[in-house]
Amino acid sequence: MVSTISALRRPALALLLALGAAFAPLGGQTAAVQAVPAQAPDYQALIGDYPHPGSDGAKADLAILLWLQRTRTADDVRRAESEVVPDLALFAPVTGRSLDAARFPLTRALCAEAQDAVGQEIGRLKRHFARPRPFATWPEVRPAVRLEPSFAYPSGHSGWGVATASVLGVLEPGRRPEILARGLLVGFDRVLAGVHHPSDVDAGQRVAGSVMERWLAEPEHRRRLEAARAAEW
């Protein structure tokens, strides 16, 4: 089962590391920035339908949920609880910066805009797919954090983690792997806490990665990222 958990995390990690490497460094470096595609991707087609009850995918989701439920520690639960209302402060240990509003207003504004861009797409997909949360389908799943009334697929917290990590990873490229790993952990902890299926998290991270590829390639966003890095980093 450990290998199953690792397999859950690998695709999104590979996506984020590729995303982080795809864009030119800030500060006048010469690597080329990819052009923004004229048309936004079909995010519904990108992630496809969720695994329905009785399918092999749904059985795999449940097996992972129950394994994490049996093995999660008190520290794991405390960390998941700290992420229920996510804030930039979650990234302070891996960036080496406080990321408080007084000292990092430009960074926070950029992160908020990226999070909103991802959140809009994920919200639309949630309403389309209307997947119940795992605890609503399987009574043996016992959530460890506050329940939410929204649909499950794709995971909004997972998208938030990717959006935030994508911005911060550009501003602090020397710590990009740690930053991206912390962003992925926000999504993983939603499975650990029993409030999302693994497939919800994978879908949320893939949507967010695609949204952020376009977002980071926008010239105006690149200009503002440069300004934020010069002023605050």
Angle CA 96–214–168, to nearest 5: 5
CATH classification code of 2-24+47-232: 1.20.144.10
Nearest residue to 88 (alpha-carbon basis) of 66, 105, 67: 105
Side chain identity at residue 139, one-letter code = P
Q: What is the pLDDT of residue 32?
A: 45
* Token reading at 43: 């995010």
Q: Is residue 167 within 8 Å of residue 115, measured between CB atoms?
A: no
Interhelix angle 198-217/105-129, rounded to 10 degrees, is: 130
Domain extents in the chain = 2-24+47-232
Q: Across the 233 residues of the chain, what is the mean pLDDT of every consecutive 10-residue run?
A: 40 45 45 60 96 97 98 98 97 96 97 98 98 97 95 98 98 97 98 98 98 97 98 97
CA distance 75 to 21: 32
Q: What is the pLDDT of residue 40?
A: 80
Q: What is the pLDDT of residue 39?
A: 76
Q: What is the pLDDT of residue 185?
A: 98
